[in-house]
Structure formats: structure tokens, C-alpha cells
Amino acid sequence: MTTQANKSIVSADYPTPPFAEQPQPAPGLASKMIPVPDHGEKSYRGSGRLTGRKALITGGDSGIGRAVAIAYAREGADVAINYLPEEEPDAIEVIRLIEAEGRKAIAIPGDIRSEAFCQQLVKEAVEKLGGLDILVNNAGRQQFNESIRTLSTEDFDATFKTNVYAMFWITKAAVDHLPRGASIINTSSVQAYNPSDILLDYAQTKASIVAFTKSLAKQLGKEGIRVNAIAPGPYWTPLQSSGGQPQEKVMQFGASAPLGRPGQPVEIAPLYVTMASQESSFSSGQVWCSDGGTGTL
């Protein structure tokens, strides 16, 4: 027999396509999406799973990074977020939400395509948080291109600098600050395993993140530092509407998933909590997928 409480859970009213046409210039703002994504602002409930931890999250202003920042704060962690200066309006909201939980919130805007800035980012996060236990390499660049003939070296380089080089630079700067029991979580994608024809450069970077994760887990295991990755499928974030997909695909985004819709960022945040918590103390070098039922991994 289905109780009323269970019924409300299984029939959660998340938006389904078709969606409105909604082009934005990159990097895009969550506040301008139609409908606005659910990052857990009102729905996520914490249970103290990360009490006293200190986390740095890149791309923490919107999308998955924003949902993770909210979840971490409600689980008891202090949080530093990085984002591009153009994303300040979204970032201000995240900082307010973290502080509303009585947690320390640190905003560090800047472009992670610069190695010098990546080093400064980690230094500032460690100093202002008073240490670092969790690193979430989440920021990403995705711009569709129909053909290798029109994919410029400049765009290819920008995607790799954002998605791969920055992850390397930030992690390298962070490892000497991470104690035993610390956790590094990287955001890959189902594109690493089932790449789209129009995301040639993006898919390559996400496959690289999988290899980086598995290799680094072997390096850092003896230090008691765990390294894992999460591979999202279609999630409703500004990454898609700001050039990540053609507008005709944005309008039908997530329709091909067995659940018939894109995921909302709040739906994947619990995976990042689980991988950061000591409940997963024997899980390292793993890639967890959340794709609405396609079963890519």
C-alpha cells in the first residue's frame, strides 16, 4: 500500500520538455533559465554528514556546483566557491544560502584557465576556511560545434584549459593541504562513454577526467585521500542553454532519457555528499553515473 508520504516522493513534479527557447551568452546564469533549476534551495535537508568539514567547489555559482554547495552547507560544512566574475549575480545568492545555515561562505571569483589563479584560489580557500578537507572540481566549459572543420584551436584550447588543465592545477595545489580522510570529487559526464557528435572537444575532456580520477586515486591511496568522479547525464543547468546545446535540443532536453526529463541539480547533490562523507571511506577511483535511467555506465 502506498502511503501519502511515499506518493508525494515518487510523483515529484519536476519539469519535462518541451521547454522555451532561451539562448544566453556563455557562461550563462541559472536565474535566467526557464524554468529556473532546482538546486535544493527549499528542498534539500541535511543531516550533519559533513559537520566541521571545509570544502572548495569550482563552478559553485550555478548548476550542479551550486546544488553541491547548498547541500554541503546543510550537512555542516564551510564552503568556498569559485566562479567567473560574470556569474556574480548567481554567486551572491549561493553565498547567502550558505551563510543562512550558519556556515562560513567564501566567494573567490576568477578564471581557472590561468595556472597562477588556480594556485591563488587554493591558497585563499585554505587560508579563509582554515584548512581543506573536500575538493570538488566541477567547473566546466561546453560549447557545441557541428564539425571538426569548424572547431577552432582557440575553442578547443579553452575547453581543455577549463575542464582538464584547471583540474590538474587546482588539485596539484591542493594535495599538500589535504589530510588523511580527505576527498577529491571530479565532475565527468556520460559524454566520456557515449559522446555526442557535436561535443567533440567536451567529450574528450570528460574522458580525460575519468582517467585522471582513476590514476590519481592510486597515487593518493597510501595517503588516505580518496579520489572519485561523478558522471551526470542530462541535467538542467546554464551549461546547456548558453551554447552547450543548439536551441532546438535545449527545447527537448532530457526527453530521450527513460524518465522523460532532465535531472534537476538537487537530484545529484546527494551523490557528492555521499562521496565526500566517511560513509564512503573505502570507495576510491570510482565513477558514479546519474543519467535518468539510460544505464550508460
Residue with cell 552547507: 73
Using DSSP bridges, classify how beta strands 105-109 and 226-232 pair: parallel, antiparallel or unpaired.
unpaired
Say if residues 229 and 183 touch (Cβ distance below 8 Å).
no
For helices 200-220 and 153-160, the axis angle rounded to 10 degrees is: 30
Q: What whole-number distance in Å separates Cα of residue 137 and Cα of residue 190?
A: 16
Strands (E), 131-175: 134-137
Say if residues 270 and 71 touch (Cβ distance below 8 Å).
yes
Q: Nearest Cα to 56, choosing from 190, 169, 191?
A: 169
Set 72, 202, 235, 272: catalytic member: 202
Annotated catalytic residue 202:
yes
Show the CA angle centred on residue 284, arms to residues 128 and 122, nearest 5°.
20
Q: Nearest Cα to 164, choosing from 127, 196, 139?
A: 139
Q: What whole-number distance in Å separates Cα of residue 207 and Cα of residue 297?
A: 13
How many H helices and E strands in the chain?
10, 7
Q: Cell digits for 192?
A: 566520456
Q: What whole-number distance in Å separates Cα of residue 221 and Cα of residue 276?
A: 15
Q: Nearest Cα to 186, choosing from 125, 276, 106, 115?
A: 276
Cite the active site residues.
Answer: 202
